């Protein structure tokens, strides 16, 4: 296995085989792993919000599902990926607190997941694996060798999608 690149909150990065990518402690944010199996180029984004057009301060592309995915694809293409080969695996979008009040915060995890899927589908990228929603945090690791996405949660067995 090659180097493991760490992705922070509102951050993204891409790498080639044998590199790997990880993001720690995903909560309501969504981790998006894109992969081109033919060139073994992988990319990961840790997005916080669904839609850059709803927010005035939107310079950081990695913060949003829409602009984050565009930016990630751009970086992957520059590493030799073919856009038409890309497939996606996504994780996160949990609701960490059981809010009962009628508040915007309530469904942010779900909205992040919905926006991510809508953006991917508009680009013709298939979601081939998903572990989203519910009420717990996730650490994810993505391996360019196999395209496997490992998901670790507190008190749960490791899951591979």
Q: How far apart are the first and last CA of the chain?
A: 18
Q: Is 70 in the site for other proteins (CB under 8 A)?
A: no
Report in angstroms how near the CB of residue 99 gets to other proteins at its nearest: 6
> Whose Cβ is closer to other proteins: residue 100's or residue 124's?
100
Q: Would you call 132 helix, strand, or coil by DSSP?
A: strand
15 in catalytic set = no
> Whose Cβ is closer to other proteins: residue 52's or residue 144's?
52
Report in angstroms how near the CB of residue 24 gets to other proteins at its nearest: 4
Distance CA 73, CA 78 (A): 9
Structural tokens at position 20:
């790997």
H helix or E strand, kind and range, residue 122: helix 108-122
Distance CA 78, CA 94 (A): 32
Q: Which residues bind other proteins (CB under 8 A)?
A: 8-11, 24-29, 48-49, 55, 57, 59-60, 63, 94, 96-101, 103, 105, 108, 135-139, 154
Q: Which residues are catalytic?
A: 29
């Amino acid at each position: 296995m090659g180097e493991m690149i760490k992705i922070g909150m509102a951050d993204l990065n891409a790498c080639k085989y044998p590199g790997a990518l990880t993001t720690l402690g995903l909560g309501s944010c969504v981790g998006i792993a894109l992969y081109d199996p033919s060139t073994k180029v992988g990319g990961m984004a840790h997005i916080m919000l669904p839609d850059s057009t709803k927010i005035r301060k939107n310079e950081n592309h990695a913060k949003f599902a829409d602009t984050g995915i565009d930016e990630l694809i751009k970086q992957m293409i520059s590493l030799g990926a073919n856009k038409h080969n890309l497939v996606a695996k996504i994780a996160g979008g949990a609701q960490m607190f059981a809010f009962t009040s009628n508040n915007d915060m309530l469904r942010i995890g779900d909205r992040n997941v919905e926006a991510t899927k809508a953006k991917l589908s508009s680009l013709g990228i298939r979601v081939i694996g998903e572990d989203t929603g519910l009420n717990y945090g996730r650490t994810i690791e993505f391996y360019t060798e196999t395209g496997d996405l490992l998901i670790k949660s507190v008190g749960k067995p490791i899951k591979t999608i």
